[in-house]
Amino acid sequence: MPDKTKGLDNGLTNYGDRDFARYLRRSFAKSMGYTDKALDRPIVGICTTESGFNNCHRHFPEMLEAVKRGVLAEGGLPVPFPVISLGEVFLSPTSMVYRNLMAMTVEEMIRAQPMDSVVLMGGCDKTVPALLMGAASADKPAVLLVGGPMMTGRHRGERLGACTDCRRFWGNYRAGTVGEEEINQVEGRLAVTSGTCAVMGTASTMALIGETLGMMLPGTAAIPAVHADRLRASEETGTLAVRMAVSGGPTPRQLITRGSAENAIRVLLAVSGSTNAIIHLTAIAGRVGIEIDLEEFNALSDATPVLVDLKPVGTGYMEDFHAAGGLDGVLRGIAGSLRGDCLDVTGQTMSERLARLLTDPIDRAVIRTAEDPVNPVGGLIALHGSLAPQGAILKRAAATPALLEHEGRAVVFSSLEDLGLRIDDPDLDVTADDILVLQNAGPRSASGMPEAGYLPIPKKLARAGVKDMVRISDARMSGTAFGTIVLHVTPEADAGGPLALVRNGDRIRLSASRKSIDLLVPAEELAERQAVTATTGPSPRRGYAKLYRENVLPATLGCDFDFLRDEGAPGMRETPESL
């Protein structure tokens, strides 16, 4: 295949004299000690998201050295460059707000700097979608490399993994069944190695989606962060990036297609992955003009069984998943429903990958067969109804079965501040049959769509033994969380959606079987409330906060910025290709 590399001549700075621009660039490059031979090689950019504010990525320096080994061994020149990193728990108001900012920096740095291909190093929840969104828009040959999940800790004879177990213990602490001394012990035993959360949370879900989309070296999504194979995968990724640089592809737009997006949804459903993944996959697909249709999503969910028995909805951890067969085991289980013509970064099709899969036995305690699934239907569904005309999301696999068909009285919190002030008030008028409703926590809100959909059980109910209630909001939920929780209600309250009109005592009906969520209030009454309800919060005056609020799209469009989606995407000039 002909060499399509341009190396250091990519995107020369324009001084009106191309030869001078090349001479000046090489001169400054030589100040870093490079030889002519090195500067004449194909250049592989290594986009790294290491940060002191990102615990998940603390092993990236070692991974980076392995990537560089692979690049050098294949005859390329590795050039690392940083972009902003998004450590999930270290950002205020929430990492979701900054996902689009990171995606913009990824896109612009890939475009602006001289590289023939790029390795995208991420892991913690929002870094992977931000990398894929930016790379899809830049459309230069790119390969994703994730940090991998952390290993589990130990506490009093049981394994612990962030962050499902942290929520379980915190719930028990609030209920009074775990004391101060034990909760402090657990704090130091939840996250004991580098890497992302040890359960099928958002990070691991997005890693599997990235691999299914074809953007990652096959078989590398679930390797634990501290496993030697993680370094071997890093080296092999560097080698592959040089080959992609020389061949000129494949590029993200050749890999992220309607078919690969459908395969990614199938995998999301089969692993009962994070609800956040729907937002992120929608944003990634939107960068190449593909719409994720929620009705079609439901059709796929009803036809795709849950095969993986992992926390937060099962019993195992990501280290078990990797040892059991990983993504290959899942693909083998749903092979008959996958689109076989989709390519990956190695140039093989999904059909070719399935034909070449190793015949190692799969641990059926962790990855079931379609004939003996954890659940015969997918773990997530979309809801529509008078409370969510444009859609909402429910992780039915994480819900209490008895609450999937439920009608109850609304107990309303107008904001996160209101929730914090009143949720544990002993005089709060609430029973276990009520429905907790949080307003003004969506993407346009001041809180920036936090993972606050997992509203705490009121302390007086928790101490009485209540473990779950129906909870509804326009917020998100951590992929590590569980419960009967309706999320991403669209339109959100801040945008004037019906959620803003819910009042204490209103009746709400949830029906998972009908995939509906309805506010049982007469239309005339809602119209009267609409006339007197102020739904739009104050607009920031400057900076990124102003840009974000004025341009962020709703959850059903991935919370991307309207000006970053492909021209064929919804709300733009052309009708998109729907999924």
Q: What is the pLDDT of residues 266-309, one digit of tens each?
A: 999 999 999 999 999 999 999 999 999 999 999 999 999 999 99
Domain with CATH 3.40.50.2300 in the chain: 7-151+193-256+305-356
Whether 227 has a pLDDT exceeding 80, the answer reads: yes
Q: Is 474 within 8 Å of 502 (Cβ atoms)? A: no
Average pLDDT, the chain: 94
**pLDDT-derived band of residue 367, with 50, 70 and 90 as boundaries?**
very high
Secondary structure, 3-state, 282-323: HHHHHCCCEECCHHHHHHHHHCCCECECECCCCCECHHHHHH
In the chain, the percentage of residues whose pLDDT exceeds 90 is 89
359 pLDDT higher than 90:
no
Q: How many residues does the chain have?
A: 579
Average pLDDT estimate for 455-468: 95
- Judged by phi (left if over 0) then psi (alpha if -120 to 50, else beta), residue 16 lies in left
Does 381-532 carry CATH code 3.10.20.740? no
CA distance 283 to 260: 14
**With 80 as the cut, is the pLDDT of residue 463 above it?**
yes
- pLDDT score for 163: 82
Query: Positive or negative, the Cα torsion across 112, 115, 116, 118?
Result: negative
Q: Which of 114, 106, 35, 83 is nearest to 564 (CA)?
A: 106
Strands 577-578 and 158-160: unpaired
- Of 5-14, 18-27, 29-38, 114-123, the least confident: 5-14
DSSP labels, 38-99:
HHTSPEEEEEE---TT-GGGTTHHHHHHHHHHHHHHTT-EEEEEE-----TTS-SS-HHHHH
The model's confidence at residue 567, banded by pLDDT at 50, 70 and 90, is low
Q: pLDDT digits over 395-421, tens only?
A: 999 999 999 999 999 999 999 999 999
In this model, does residue 571 exceed pLDDT 50? no
Joined tokens for residue 501: 């009109």
Strands 485-490 and 470-473, sheet pairing: parallel
Which pLDDT score is estimated for 534? 72
Task: Kindly give, in sequence order, each residue whose CB lies less than 8 Å from that of residue 543, ignoring residues fewer than 6 positions away.
Answer: none
DSSP 8-state code for residue 216: B
Beta-bridge partner residues of 310: 316
The least confident of 91-105, 121-135, 281-295, 559-573 is 559-573
In the predicted model, is pLDDT for residue 91 greater than 60?
yes
Instruction: Please list the residue range(s) of the chain that carry CATH number 3.50.30.80.
Output: 381-532
- Residue 343's pLDDT is 98
Q: Which residue from 337, 262, 330 is spatially nearest to 296, judged by alpha carbons? A: 262
Transcribe 410-427 into DSSP letters: EEEESSHHHHHHHTT-TT
For residue 572, pLDDT over 90 is answered with no
d(C-alpha 283, C-alpha 550), whole Å: 17
pLDDT digits (tens, 9 = 90+) for 429-441: 999 999 999 999 9
Q: What's the mean pLDDT in 471-478?
A: 96
Give the residue-averaged pLDDT of 321-340.
96
User: Would you say 454 and 477 are in contact if contact means Cβ atoms under 8 Å apart?
Assistant: yes
∠ at Cα 78 (75, 80), nearest 5°? Answer: 175
Q: How far apart are CA 414 and CA 78, in angstroms?
A: 51
Instruction: Provide the pLDDT confidence category of residue 360 given band limits of 50, 70 and 90.
Output: confident
Pick the closest to residue 473 from 484, 463, 481 (CA basis). Answer: 484
> What is the mean pLDDT of the segment spanning 228-243?
98
| pLDDT-based confidence at residue 576 (cuts at 50, 70, 90) | very low
575 pLDDT higher than 50: no
Q: Residue 579 — very low, low, confident or very high, per pLDDT cuts 50/70/90?
A: low
pLDDT band at 339 (very low <50, low <70, confident <90, very high): very high
pLDDT of residue 1: 54
Q: What is the mean pLDDT of residues 325-352?
A: 97
Q: 7-151+193-256+305-356 has which fold?
A: Rossmann fold (3.40.50)
Q: What is the mean pLDDT of residues 546-570?
A: 89
Strand ranges in 457-538 using DSSP code E only, listed in sequence order: 470-473, 485-490, 507-511, 516-519
Check pLDDT > 90 for residue 90.
Answer: yes
